[in-house]
Structure 1
Amino acid sequence: MLSLERATELNATMVSDEHLIIHAKNVCYAMGAMADYFGENREHWQAVGMLHDYDYEKYPDEHLQHTQEPLLAAGVPEEDVRAIMSHGWGICTDVKPETNMEKSLFTVDELTGIIQACARMRPKGIQDLEIKSFMKKYKDKKFAAKCNRELIQKGCDLLGMEVREVAEICIEGMRSHAAEIGLEGTGEE
């Protein structure tokens, strides 16, 4: 099973951009919370989340085309590589998310971007971000416009969950790591 430590090591060999590192951590912690929700291994899901954009910095126009072989060669289990590949379903791969881990990764990848944008606007960051405030921003298509809400909805449909429910789980997962992901806020009202 892929450990978070090993995933972080592997990710560091390909990802140096601070923004992409923060994104990997956001997805990592959201995935840990989703694992808790489904009664699965938190660290394992976090590890897959950490590694999901392994080739993106070096190959943004060929995302996930430089992931499978190097990760398998590095000893990452096939099921974990498949989960990583599935987050590009319909965008840059034809690997459909089948398991709860795969469906969760597909969903939270974009969702964490909106959560991060929401939290950055608040004096206390993610620490007091409530689902009501998040949903108001989520419904505003101009807010965090680059985050694909259709993909988020598609992922939630695959999970059989509401956006609100998944967002609440992800916010909680990210909240306990607020300082590490730069979402602790300024403290200024």
Structure 2
Amino acid sequence: MKDCISREAALALLKQYNSEPFHLLHALTVEGVMGWYADTLGYGEDRAFWATVGLLHDIDFEKWPEEHCQKAPELLRDGGCGEELIHAVCSHGYGLCCDVEPIHEMEKVLFAADELTGLIGAAAKMRPSKSVCDMEVSSLKKKFKDKKFAAGCSRDVIRTGAERLGWTLEELMEKTILAMRACEDAVNAEMETLQG
């Protein structure tokens, strides 16, 4: 079992450097998605580690966007995180803002799913239900092809992420939709608590 700080400590660390609802929602979503992937891909005993990496992956982005994945190691070390977690967090910026390559399957999942959760989240907001629960891969693929939709979500990163995992784009989309469905209610409930 991989060693990581407690959920309580990780959330406190996140909130120390992040206050915008958009960033908190993204962190909680990626945490839930990474936990789902850990269970689904056979890493259940490391679920807490995968989820913590998801929660803290953008720890430096709100305050230091120009130093994304450069500032993170210092913040994470100060927060009591180990080197394995720090490597995993930084690896999602590979080829974009750092040279830490995603090696472990978990790091490849984070690299691929991080951008995709943003696209799925934006697509869900456009639905009458405002939810991912009734979203199908076919409608997501339409949004993916529309370059103007959620333009900040890099299609190249999502494609590269799928390739690194040896998955088709459809497979990555389908799994990540299922992961977001699984954690949507919990994430929304926690957001209400955080903003309350």
Shared fold, TM over 0.5 = yes
Asked if 1 retains the 8 angstrom alpha-carbon contact of 2:27 and 2:57, the reply is yes
Matching residue within 70, 74, 79 for 1:69: 74
> SS at the partner of 1:177?
helix
Aligned to 2:90: 85
- Within a 5 Å distance, the mapping from 1:89-100 to structure 2 comes to 89-100=94-105
Cα distance between partner residues in 1 of 2:143 and 2:25? 21
Query: Please, what is the CA RMSD of the aligned residues?
Result: 1.7
Matching residue within 150, 160, 173 for 1:167: 173
Query: Which structure carries more helix by proportion?
Result: 2
Is the aligned partner of 1:16 residue 2:22?
A: no
Aligned to 2:37: 34
Asked if 2 retains the 8 angstrom alpha-carbon contact of 1:24 and 1:53, the reply is yes
Tell me how far 1:4 sits from its aligned partner: 3.0
The one-letter code sitting in structure 2 at the alignment partner of 1:75 is: G
Q: How many residue pairs get matched?
A: 183
Aligned to 2:8: 5
| Residues 106 and 66 (structure 1), Cα distance of their counterparts in 2 relative to 1, 3 Å cut | same
Cα distance between partner residues in 2 of 1:85 and 1:166? 21
- Per-residue displacement from partner, 1:103-126 (whole Å, max 9, x unpaired)? 111111111011001111112221
| Residues 36 and 166 (structure 1), Cα distance of their counterparts in 2 relative to 1, 3 Å cut | farther
Structure 1, unaligned runs of 5 or more:
183-189
Asked if 2 retains the 8 angstrom alpha-carbon contact of 1:29 and 1:170, the reply is no
| Residues 33 and 166 (structure 1), Cα distance of their counterparts in 2 relative to 1, 3 Å cut | farther
Tell me how far 1:59 sits from its aligned partner: 0.5
Tell me how far 1:181 sits from its aligned partner: 4.3
**What TM-score, normalized to structure 1?**
0.90
Cα distance between partner residues in 2 of 1:142 and 1:33? 30
Tell me how far 1:74 sits from its aligned partner: 2.4
> SS at the partner of 1:13?
helix
> SS at the partner of 2:51?
helix
Percent of counterpart pairs with the same letter? Answer: 44
